[in-house]
């Protein structure tokens, strides 16, 4: 006969066993539910959204496997390496639940609780709908091949290496919440705003940043600083607002679509980071989505006084003819004109007109007239190529001239271009060229 104490003990043990078994069954059930395959339609929808977000550009190292991470990202605070976002169980996101995935995308917090740096644009991805997050999760867990590739440590100096500081940064600068539809705007405008502000994260490159690295505006509601142009990784991302000479005011919507699809128009060609964006992302978007982006961007007001720096048409015509006549006559009295004749004239011609969709026109070109000449300096020193796209497969390239031109010669030729044929941007200094050259040399040492 069992004593009352023994009966009570056995009862407690039985209760514990039942609880453990029940918990195990619940975990197994949840795991099975989590692992249940999503529909092929949802996976393909996620693949499209991943293209729109250009995830592959940052999460694929040079000569690396897609989405396996390891690409060094040059930021003002140091080198950050992109992470493995394949469904590998040990080094990727294979153990992420749908909730874990959402927390990364909406809050910038990984499964183990550490904070991400905003080089991962969770500050923009936070605007995504639940439906789009589910589609992206389906794609990355079921549509991407797992790759075993351990993540690399960031190369940031203390105290910036303390990820806990990002909690403070988020509290100060991060505006959470899904995209809120503007009922006073059309469905097309709202779709464009959603893509530009969210998946496209255009503001992360094209909006100026504050002293703590925060973007100074997250939408058109924050005023003229949104998409007003900014310098990133030795490239200047031009304004996307309605400025006359350096923005999109003069661009028809169809031309914006053409640029995003092919990376080239009669007006300008994609270079640097934007070339990668077109090649890996925007060329794959549907016509309705591209037109929605154009609709939204064309609605933006100027980011500054659009009359700033404009000269009257008579002066522009005089400047254009004077520069062209001098070059055709072999008159090299203007600083930079000799360097232009020797290195640029064959492709861009003596009148700066270039060749349509092949050698960019330099006359009133947005990049040429930008307030910040960083992109031009980078282009001359290191060269760049247009993207290879489905509708324009030739990746035409401009060679680098940094090996043959001194800082002073680069400054002179760019000052000549920025002041000829109706262009009237400020000249370029030797010191500006030297800073970009030094930064590019440092980047070459980073792997």
pLDDT for residue 132 is more than 80: yes
pLDDT computed for residue 3 by the predictor? 57
Which pLDDT band, with edges at 50, 70 and 90, does 293 fall under?
A: very high
| pLDDT tens-place string over residues 134-145 | 999 999 999 999
Which pLDDT band, with edges at 50, 70 and 90, does 17 fall under?
A: very low
| pLDDT tens-place string over residues 323-349 | 898 899 888 889 999 999 999 999 999
pLDDT computed for residue 161 by the predictor? 80
Distance CA 287, CA 298 (A): 16
pLDDT for residue 152 is more than 50: yes
User: Where is pLDDT greater, at 134 or 447?
Assistant: 134
Round the average pLDDT of the chain to a whole number and report it. 87
CATH number 1.10.1040.10 given to 313-444: no
> What is the pTM for the complete model shown?
0.86
| pLDDT tens-place string over residues 245-287 | 788 998 999 999 999 999 999 888 999 999 999 999 999 999 9
pLDDT for residue 428 is more than 80: yes
User: Where is pLDDT greater, at 378 or 320?
Assistant: 378
pLDDT computed for residue 307 by the predictor? 39
pLDDT computed for residue 2 by the predictor? 52
Which pLDDT band, with edges at 50, 70 and 90, does 306 fall under?
A: very low
Distance CA 170, CA 118 (A): 9
pLDDT computed for residue 138 by the predictor? 98
pLDDT computed for residue 244 by the predictor? 76
pLDDT computed for residue 447 by the predictor? 56
The CB-based long-range contact list for 356-363 (8 Å cut-off, 24+ gap) reads 356/266, 357/264, 357/265, 357/266, 357/269, 357/392, 358/396, 359/396, 360/264, 360/268, 360/269, 361/266, 361/267, 361/268, 362/417, 362/421, 362/423, 363/320, 363/421, 363/422, 363/423
pLDDT for residue 380 is more than 50: yes
Cβ of 183: how many Cβ atoms within 10 Å? 6
Question: Residues 6 or more apart from 244 whose CB is under 8 A from it?
Answer: 250, 302, 306, 307, 310
Which pLDDT band, with edges at 50, 70 and 90, does 24 fall under?
A: very low
Locate the domains of the chain by residue range: 37-177, 313-444
CATH number 3.40.50 given to 37-177: no
pLDDT computed for residue 235 by the predictor? 93
What mean pLDDT is predicted for residues 43-70? 96
pLDDT computed for residue 49 by the predictor? 98
Q: Do domains 37-177 and 313-444 have the same CATH topology?
A: yes
Tokens of 28: 């197994």
What mean pLDDT is predicted for residues 388-412? 92
pLDDT computed for residue 393 by the predictor? 86
pLDDT computed for residue 445 by the predictor? 67
- Angle ∠(251,257,260) on CA atoms, nearest 5: 105
Which pLDDT band, with edges at 50, 70 and 90, does 69 fall under?
A: very high
What mean pLDDT is predicted for residues 288-295? 98
pLDDT computed for residue 12 by the predictor? 56
Asked if residue 418 has a cis previous peptide bond (ω within 30° of 0), the answer is no
């Amino acid at each position: 006969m069992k004593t009352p104490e023994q009966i009570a003990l056995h009862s407690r043990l039985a209760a514990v066993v039942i609880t453990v078994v029940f918990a195990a069954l619940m975990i197994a059930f949840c795991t099975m539910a989590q692992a249940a395959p999503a529909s092929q339609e949802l996976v393909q929808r996620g693949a499209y959204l991943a293209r729109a977000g250009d995830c592959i550009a940052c999460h694929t190292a040079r000569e690396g496997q897609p989405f396996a991470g390891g690409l060094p990202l040059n930021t003002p605070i140091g080198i950050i390496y992109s992470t493995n976002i394949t469904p590998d169980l040990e080094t990727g996101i294979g153990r992420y639940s749908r909730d874990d995935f959402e927390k990364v995308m909406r809050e910038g917090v990984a499964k183990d609780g550490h904070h991400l740096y905003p080089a991962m644009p969770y500050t923009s991805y936070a605007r995504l709908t639940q439906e789009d997050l589910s589609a992206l999760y389906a794609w990355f867990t079921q549509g991407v091949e797992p790759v075993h590739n351990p993540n690399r440590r960031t190369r940031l100096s203390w105290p910036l290496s303390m990820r806990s500081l990002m909690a403070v940064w988020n509290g100060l600068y991060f505006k959470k919440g899904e995209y809120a539809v503007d009922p006073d705007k059309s469905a097309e405008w709202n779709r464009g705003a959603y893509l530009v502000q969210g998946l496209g994260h255009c503001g992360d490159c094209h909006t100026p940043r504050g002293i703590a690295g925060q973007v100074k505006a997250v939408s058109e509601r924050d005023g003229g600083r949104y998409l007003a142009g900014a310098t990133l990784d030795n490239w200047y991302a031009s304004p996307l607002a309605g400025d006359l000479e350096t923005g999109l005011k003069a661009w028809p919507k169809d031309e914006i679509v053409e640029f995003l699809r092919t990376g080239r128009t009669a007006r300008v060609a994609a270079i640097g980071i934007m070339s990668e964006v077109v090649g890996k992302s925007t060329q794959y978007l549907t016509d309705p989505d591209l037109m929605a982006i154009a609709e939204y961007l064309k609605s933006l007001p100027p980011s500054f006084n659009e009359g700033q720096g404009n000269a009257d048409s008579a002066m522009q015509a005089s400047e254009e003819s004077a520069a062209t006549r001098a070059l055709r006559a072999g008159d090299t009295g203007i600083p930079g004109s000799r360097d232009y004749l020797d290195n640029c004239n064959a492709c861009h011609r003596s009148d700066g007109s270039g060749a349509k969709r092949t050698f960019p026109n330099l006359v009133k070109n947005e990049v040429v007239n930008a307030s910040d000449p960083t992109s031009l300096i980078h282009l001359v020193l290191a060269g760049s190529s247009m993207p290879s796209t489905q509708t324009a497969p030739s990746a035409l390239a401009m060679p680098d001239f940094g090996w043959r031109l001194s800082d002073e010669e680069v400054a002179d030729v760019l000052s000549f271009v920025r002041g000829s044929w109706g262009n009237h941007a400020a000249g370029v200094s030797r010191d500006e060229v030297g800073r970009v050259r030094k930064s590019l040399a440092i980047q070459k040492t980073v792997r």
